[in-house]
Amino acid sequence: KKVVFLDTSTGFKFLSGSTQGSDETIEWEDGNTYPLLKVEISSDSHPFYTGKQKLADAGGRIDKFKKKYNLD
């Protein structure tokens, strides 16, 4: 069924299908009322989609792993 997802960190809303239901409802742009599902992260706030993802230094992680397990 159709539901509205609300990204609580940015206020971004989108209409999609889901099997999840909710007691809360919201009126959508088309004038219909749909169940409202609140999510903490969506494509509007996730670093992968916003381009703000930080890439870790692979060499540093390998050295840290080796040091942690005495593999040097």
pLDDT in tens, 15-31: 999 998 899 999 999 99
Which tens digits make up the pLDDT trace of 30-52? 999 999 999 888 777 655 555 55
Higher-confidence residue: 63 or 34? 34
Question: If you write DSSP's letter for every residue of 2-37 in order, what string do you get?
Answer: EEEEEETTT--EEEEE-S---S-EEE-TTS-EEEEE
d(CA 42, CA 48): 10
Task: Using a cut of 0.85, tell me whether the model's pTM lies above it.
Answer: no
Residues in the chain: 72
How many domains does one find in the chain?
A: 1
Rounded to whole angstroms, how far apart are CA atoms 9 and 33?
Answer: 22
Residue 45 CB partners (closer than 8 Å, separation 6+): 7, 9, 10, 12
Boundaries of domain holding 15: 2-69
